[in-house]
């Protein structure tokens, strides 16, 4: 009789452990959310630095950056100038207005317009209709024109004009056959309005996003 009781008890304990183990397996499962890719546009802007969640690089010729970890903000800079830090946007498109924190239709914000003027002025061929390309040579020369740690808010239109002039001198010293053309803030504002219209019309789109992946910690 005693042996039978011990056998029943062992079976009961084993079954309890089995169900307990199954419950633990289920609770250990977590959903790993994929990161995101974005595109920086004032026309597509290639060659600006981005950093997010320990990752960093420069935007491609199409303005695309990432992959950034899910939910992390991204910091943009060019040369020694920190443009700003911005949280992920709903459409994964990033503009100067997004960086400053104003609506995309805004065209009367000085910091936004000066940022746009600076980016357009750094374009290697001066033609934003084919995108804005800031080459490594331009970035290096621009670093000589603006002190390290400069924030976009520290610059006004006059300082940008002066910085572009210095950048051109540095490009000549480096033997580069590039001459940058200064774009006025008013002209940059008009370009921003055009870009905002293209985004709203769906002409400008974000890159294909990474796929969500389910992972288990078991």
Instruction: Please report, for the chain, the start and end positions of each structural domain, with discontinuous segments joined by +.
Output: 36-201
**Cα separation, 174 vs 85, whole angstroms:** 31
Tokens representing 218?
Answer: 């078991």
* Residues 191 and 120 sit within 8 Å (Cβ to Cβ): yes
**Cα separation, 168 vs 85, whole angstroms:** 28
pLDDT at res. 3: 52
Tokens representing 215?
Answer: 């992972």
State the Cα torsion 101-103-105-107 to the nearest 10°: -40
Task: Quote the pTM value.
Answer: 0.83
With tokens 């209709």, the residue in question is: 129
pLDDT at res. 7: 44
Query: What kind and span of H or E run contains 36?
Result: strand 36-40
Profile the chain (218 residues) by mean pLDDT over runs of 10 residues.
48 46 48 88 98 97 96 98 98 98 95 98 97 98 97 98 99 97 98 96 94 57
């Amino acid at each position: 009789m005693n042996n039978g009781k011990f056998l029943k008890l062992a079976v009961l304990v084993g079954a309890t452990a089995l169900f307990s183990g199954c419950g633990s397996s289920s609770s250990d499962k977590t959903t790993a959310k994929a990161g995101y890719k974005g595109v920086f546009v004032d026309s597509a802007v290639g060659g600006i630095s981005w950093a997010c969640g320990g990752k960093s690089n420069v935007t491609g010729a199409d303005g695309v950056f990432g992959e950034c970890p899910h939910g992390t903000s991204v910091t943009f800079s060019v040369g020694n100038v920190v443009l700003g830090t911005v949280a992920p946007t709903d459409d994964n498109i990033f503009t100067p207005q997004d960086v400053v924190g104003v609506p995309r239709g805004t065209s009367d914000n000085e910091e936004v317009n000066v940022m746009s003027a600076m980016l357009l002025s750094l374009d290697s061929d001066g033609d934003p209709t084919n995108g804005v390309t800031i080459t490594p040579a331009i970035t290096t020369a621009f670093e000589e024109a603006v002190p390290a740690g400069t924030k976009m808010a520290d610059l006004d239109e006059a300082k940008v004009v002066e910085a572009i002039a210095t950048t051109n001198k540095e490009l000549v010293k480096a033997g580069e056959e590039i001459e940058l053309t200064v774009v006025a803030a008013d002209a940059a504002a008009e370009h921003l309005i055009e870009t905002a219209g293209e985004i709203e019309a769906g002409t400008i789109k974000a890159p294909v996003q990474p796929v969500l992946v389910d992972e288990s910690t078991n």
